[in-house]
Structure 1
Amino acid sequence: MSASPSTAPVNGPHLKLAVLFGSAGALATLALMPYVIALTPQKFSALPLPLPVIVLAAAAQTGMLCWLLGWLGLYLGAPYGLDAPWLRAWVYRRLRDPARRPHWWLATLLGVLAALLVAGLSAFGPEHAHDTIQAWRGALASLYGGIVEEVLCRLLLVSALVWLLARCNRRMAQPWMFALAIVLAALLFGASHLPAAQAAGLLGTPLLIARIVLLNAVAAVVFGGLFWKYGLEHAMLAHFCADLVLHVALPLAGGF
């Protein structure tokens, strides 16, 4: 198994860490709901169940997915160094691997730059409706991107793809495998935004579809690189900061 210091194999249990992901995912889903309800009010008004029941069911479902799929991502990725080292050290009360050093400032900076890049690239595409949802809703929704989407799209997808590629090479993971997994997971992440865009009436032409996929994939490549080199926490922080820029700062400034 090929591994640099930043992707050193991780041995140990994963269940308690996955439970943390599940709990955080459920809370992040509750925080997301005001944004989703404001974005697609007609969808919720047409549902037969009371709104509190729908919200709690969504939170429970997402929490369960983050728990189970987060565990699977750790199981597949940790042997190749794809892990959450700071959260692992906290949950299991262990010393952190001294070979891993935090780069929180870098994650914050790259998250902000990724958001600005996405906003800049979107200016060259077809016109779209500006986000007019209140800033507090956007701030709460940013937690969902930083937690749930990173667990599912980085921890699970990148880890599973690296695991599959390594299986074809006598379980030896090479740097190009990590890079390919990050790009493929980024494209899948971009495609995962299409249902929400359709519900909001933002899909109409193949160009708009490609735009949504590629713009989200651009940011996801940045998050994936941080996950690979520094751990899942850095990807979470960068994603959270990027969403704050896109859903709070730029709308307040009238620039996106």
Structure 2
Amino acid sequence: MSAPLPMPRPRQDLRVAVILAALSALATVAVIPYLLQIDPARMQAAAGVPLPALVAIQALTMFIVCTLLAWAGLRMGHRVGLGAPLLQRWINRQGEAAIRTSAPGQAVALGAGAAVALLALSRLLDPLLLPPTQVAMTDIAGARSALYGVLASFYGGVVEELQLRLFLMTLIAWAATWLVRRRAGFEGALSPRIAWTAIVLAALLFGLGHLPAASLVWELDAGVVLRTLLLNGIGGVVFGWLFWKRGFEMAVLSHFAADLVLHALVPLLLPQGIL
């Protein structure tokens, strides 16, 4: 995926961005039942606003934001060999990407493997790092629902990957490449050193983004922060590597597979391990 990519026109990238933004808006709606069960206060913050109106506002906001982020990420990505090659092929007839050569089975296996590794590390680290919980996890109404977990997985796979990989990781890679090669200019590819820098930084920010969810369960302290950064950072590195080597679509697929394990299979098999 780090080989030079053909440069579509801005309007062509906008087509891809709008489709991704529409999927992000749908994923935002899909995650609402999960949020209502896990964090009802979030959905009740706008007092006096009917829930359907609140959901519509959030979906529209997500559509606008993700359109801008996806378009910017796609435009920057052409300079450094990052992007969404399958979508460019399907929508704009750009490039020669194919599902078979993108190794979707590898993406699913890496995502599921990362989820299993997170569960194993959680079992090992939690007794050492975590304070007593502020909430009894198995007492949350609907928390064991695998259906809610499946719906929530679309948000992680589409929205988080769009924000963290397609935009943020690409921005880091683009900026670092510009700083290193500002005299020579971009060559349409990404050096391994810059790629890993962008992968790790985006993964750390991915972990930081999960601290609000962790604060619902534990009082934030050094142990909780370390655990959250480490466990989520592992997934972020896996998804970032796939974005670099296989493209945005495989990062989405891998993240979705990981979330299915964590948010659908775990509630079914290990209800005490949710969230």
TM-score (norm 1): 0.91
Pairing 1:216–2:232 present: yes
Counterpart CA distance in 1 for 2:94 and 2:179 is: 33
Q: Which runs of 5+ in 1 are unaligned?
A: none
Deviation at 1:176, TM superposition (A): 0.6
Counterpart CA distance in 2 for 1:42 and 1:224 is: 32
- 1:109-147 per-residue CA deviation (whole Å, 9 max, x = no partner) reads 000000001111111223566573411001000000110
* Aligned AA (1:144): Y
Secondary structure class of the residue paired with 1:146: helix
Counterpart CA distance in 1 for 2:169 and 2:221 is: 29
**Alpha-carbon contact 2:79-2:174 (below 8 Å) kept:** no
Pairing 1:62–2:78 present: no
Q: Which of the numbers 203, 216, 228 marks the counterpart of 1:186?
A: 203
Alignment of 1:1-256 (within 5 A): 6-13=2-9, 14-48=13-47, 49-94=49-94, 96-97=96-97, 101-126=101-126, 130=137, 132-170=143-181, 171-172=185-186, 173-198=190-215, 200-254=216-270, 256=273
Provide the identity percentage: 40
Change (3 A) 1:166 1:42: closer
* Aligned AA (1:30): V
* Aligned AA (2:175): L
- 1:86-119 per-residue CA deviation (whole Å, 9 max, x = no partner) reads 1111111345247x92200000000000000111
Secondary structure class of the residue paired with 2:112: helix
**Alpha-carbon contact 2:5-2:81 (below 8 Å) kept:** yes
CA RMSD, 1 decimal: 1.9
Deviates more, 1:112-121 or 1:209-218: 209-218
* Aligned AA (2:159): V
Deviation at 1:26, TM superposition (A): 0.3
Deviates more, 1:71-80 or 1:16-25: 71-80
- 1:9-65 per-residue CA deviation (whole Å, 9 max, x = no partner) reads 331031101111110100000001111111112343353111111111111111111
**Alpha-carbon contact 2:88-2:95 (below 8 Å) kept:** no
Report the number of matched residues.
Answer: 250
* Aligned AA (2:153): S
Counterpart CA distance in 2 for 1:44 and 1:237 is: 28
- 1:155-214 per-residue CA deviation (whole Å, 9 max, x = no partner) reads 11111011111111224542110011000000001101112332x233432211221122
Counterpart CA distance in 2 for 1:97 and 1:51 is: 42
**Alpha-carbon contact 1:203-1:209 (below 8 Å) kept:** no
Counterpart CA distance in 1 for 2:56 and 2:213 is: 20
Change (3 A) 1:177 1:94: closer
TM-score (norm 2): 0.85
* Aligned AA (1:227): F
Q: Which runs of 5+ in 2 are unaligned?
A: 128-132
Deviation at 1:8, TM superposition (A): 2.0
* Aligned AA (1:45): Q
Secondary structure class of the residue paired with 1:126: helix
